[in-house]
Structure 1
């Protein structure tokens, strides 16, 4: 299937871009998941939203938006390629992303995912961990089987590098959450690895698999990495201020657990009275009470944490868009990618 993006399409409906990407990728994603052992497939099917806890079809729950595969397909189009060039790469990217979600929910003690109990709550921690492990292994297997456009192993190298970086980023996230002092630069480095690496890989794989030049691959990877940092900024905002009915995830856990997400880091470094009071709360050697969590949320905003992070998200989005204009990409797809970038980092706060 060839994805077509004309000017009207790009300017009017990012949701149309996502929907078309989903239509292209989902069948191949289901085929890949069906190759897993039955016991693992049951957990994965539930996690993706395809089945309920008893293994019955749940056709109205189709999982996430598959933003990263959309970046892969759009990057392929940006260098003159087609969706058929990059389906397996896009599926692999989504499998790696879902692996991180399965493990993140356990590490963050998040009991909800996409408006339902998280997989580890339903099937237990061991089963959810194994399901996550199976997904990244399957992703590498798919990449090793992709022979349509030989890339001298660079595609697998890109994905392995992303896996290495996102693991390092997750480890840094755990470390930073347990420390009393965290700098903004440390947070940015963590976000670049934890979230930016896979988004960058998604873009790079699209360009590489479609015959993009070295410069195009490099700049598109930078697009994804900047977008990933912006995405993580917004995710940190959503973790404190979002409506759980919109996100399908618990809101406020980060504050209750005194996790140093970017709005908190910014507030603690603000030198304000509100920041000083927040630091006293965050030095308590326990989870916060509901009243304390409400007060902490107020202090984060009063200290400027919320507004500063919003600006960071805007800045990284603009840097992503600037990278799109640095080398010869198809103009109509540059417009689509710019629209997608602005939409992703302007999610409800």
Structure 2
């Protein structure tokens, strides 16, 4: 079993009351839809003890603040903001991808419908930007950082969708998409914590670089889990990304490789009627074409780059250790 760093649980505990307070600012019925997404309400609006997310992004914001000499309590607003942006993307991603299950329960759009899911995701974005606007002295720099990361995340999502209509996606394009869709927000989480606590430009930049490389490592692992993850652990059906013909990183690498496996995989991806055996054959073709091995190597490389970015600045030993622990968790996690 993968070791989960204590800072992730601590971050979830620290931000939960503030996230609930932010959601309470919404009016009905949006408040109930968003509460369902977070797991504290059921589909009827009754209290529910649902599963929580990993807490990675708020943990990075808190660690960024600690690196700058700040406290967890001080860094709650940026930690909450990045978690709200992230959850906005989850609500919208489930709708875009047609995913009907997350954390072992139906997704927002599957329960409340597509219009409600669109509005709930938009509401979460609005709450995020309201949250960092709460401090006049830090609102401008923090708001600009969060807005830039959000714009890049949305651009990455749009590019990802555009790949569905193309058969010629290059590996470099796919990596650039992941940099925008995933790495931008993890980088911002680290930077925002430092900015909020008054960290130096050098520290803020180094932490942002760490978050960038960590975000790419995260996406490589996520794409591996999207094909070979265990449903009981990931909370999603087996072969999810293949079922939706997603142009994920290992798939694109396999498609761009030379050889009969790439041609057969491309032909299978063009078929709308693949059964379970066909999907399993696609997974085998990705392996045979080198896509799985390449993605695993790239995740390890990005881990090394993330850890190397921390060497550019002095850090307290406990903070450095926790950043290392989080990075290793990202590349060994099972969900």
Instruction: Give the alignment's TM-score, normalised by structure 1.
Output: 0.92
Pick aligned residue for 1:53 from 43, 47, 51: 43
Give the whole-Å Cα distance in 1 for the aligned partners of 2:8 and 2:36: 22
Structure 1 residue 287, shift from structure 2 partner:
4.5
The partner residue of 1:340 within 306, 326, 335 is 326
Q: Counterparts of 1:287 and 1:240 in 2: how far apart (Å)?
A: 18
Deviation track 1:304-332 (CA, whole Å, cap 9, x = no partner) reads: 11111011111111101100111122222
2:199 corresponds to which of 199, 212, 221? 212
Once residues 20 and 90 of structure 1 are traced to their aligned partners in structure 2, the CA distance between those partners, rounded to angstroms, is 12
- Indicate if the aligned counterparts of 1:46 and 1:53 stay in contact, CA closer than 8 A: yes
Q: Distance in 2 between matches of 1:31 and 1:151?
A: 21
Q: Is the 8 A contact 1:170 1:194 kept in 2?
A: yes
Q: Alpha-carbon deviation of 1:176?
A: 1.4
1:247 pairs with 2:237: no
Give the whole-Å Cα distance in 2 for the aligned partners of 1:169 and 1:279: 23
Cα shift at 1:162: 0.6
Tell me what 1:32 maps to. 22
8 Å contact 1:88–1:142 — kept in the other structure?
yes
CA displacement 1:161-186 (0-9 Å, x = unmatched): 01110010000100112210111110
Partner of 1:195: 182
- Aligned partners of 1:315, 1:301: CA distance in 2, in Å? 19
Q: Deviations over 1:104-126 (max 9, x none)?
A: 00000000011100010001111
Query: 1:131 matched to which residue of 2?
Result: 120
Decide whether the 8 Å contact of 2:133 with 2:139 is kept in 1.
no
Report the CA distance between 1:282 and its aligned residue: 2.3
Q: Tell me, yes or no, if structure 1 residue 86 matches structure 2 residue 81.
A: no
- Deviation of 1:255 after TM superposition, in Å, equals 1.1
TM-superposed deviation, 1:146:
2.2
* Structure 2, unaligned runs of 5 or more: none
Query: 1:30, 1:176 → 2: CA distance?
Result: 36
1:261 aligns with 2:248: yes
8 Å CA contact 2:5–2:329 kept in 1: the answer is no
Mind listing any 5+ residue stretches in structure 1 that lack a counterpart? Answer: 1-12
Q: Is the 8 A contact 1:256 1:289 kept in 2?
A: no
Displacement of 1:289 = 2.5
TM-score (norm 2): 0.96
The question of whether the paired residues in 2 share the 8 Å contact of 1:264 and 1:305 is answered with: yes
Moved more, 252-261 or 117-126: 252-261
Q: Number of aligned residue pairs: give it.
A: 334
Correspondent of 2:133 among 144, 165, 168: 144
Q: Which runs of 4+ in 1 moved over 4 A?
A: none
Cα root mean square deviation, aligned: 1.5
User: 2:90 aligns to what?
Assistant: 101
